[in-house]
Homo-oligomer: A and B are copies of this chain.
Amino acid sequence: MQKYFITKNDLENFRITGDDCHHISTVMRFKASDRVLVSDGDKSYLVSLKSISSNEVTFDIIEERIGNVELPVFVSIFQGYPKGDKIEEIIKHGTELGANQFTPTLMKRSVFKLDPKKKEAKLARFNKIAKEAAEQSYRDRVPLVDDIIELKKIDFSSYTHKILCYEENAKNNELTNFKSIVSNLNKNDKVAIVIGPEGGIDDSELNYLKSLGFISASLGPRILRTETAVFYCLSAISYEMELKK
């Protein structure tokens, strides 16, 4: 079933406004009495559509949807800014896999150069991708894509667990650090995961992150691309914490 994230104000007025109306009327071609899910980011509701136009859709609430589809821990991805459009792929699939926050991070080996004039438009686009992926995967919350920022300006002090994905650990056959942390996570822990760009992490960045309490870890014996590392981390946390034997 299709899910739409709407504002609290629109929820109180039993209506959907903005781009989603076009999606409902023209892309999905929904009709009156068709059912969709709506969420204000806190709670989700099954609703029946009443009137449909390209700029406003109204609905009746049928019932509140109870059920937790959010990862039991808060996972924030600090992604060394990669080449091309990879950051969009990371936000899209990372949202499906349950990440709560993405911070595009400028690191020494990031090829990307930030054009300040384009920053707001980029962030708006990234957050739209996160919203659509959250709707597609039936999430209750839309992850935040935070400001594009330099590594050394990030405040990691609120995180209970800090993991640095580091390919040299894979080359040295280190296979325990990641699982030791993930298998001991508790509900509501806050996990920061730093992943380097294509060229990896610079030595000074490695030492800086270690000084902040980050544990460097491999994700198995193969060398993963930067975007694949994000998918691995989130999948493994879900497998460990959400699936049962």
Interface set of A (CB-CB < 8 Å, partner B): 67-69, 93, 96-98, 136-139, 173, 175-176, 178-180, 182-183, 219-225, 227-228, 231-232, 235-236, 238-240, 242-245
Contacts and interface: CB of A to CB of B under 8 A. Distances in A.
Given A93-B228, A219-B243, A232-B238, 14 more contacts: A97-B224, A97-B228, A97-B232, A136-B223, A136-B225, A175-B244, A178-B239, A179-B244, A183-B245, A219-B235, A220-B239, A235-B235, A236-B243, A239-B239
10 contacts: A69-B221, A96-B223, A96-B224, A96-B225, A97-B224, A175-B243, A178-B239, A183-B245, A219-B235, A220-B239
- Please tell me how many copies of the chain the complex holds: 2
Given A98-B222, A232-B235, A239-B179, A227 B93 contact: yes
A243 B69 contact: no
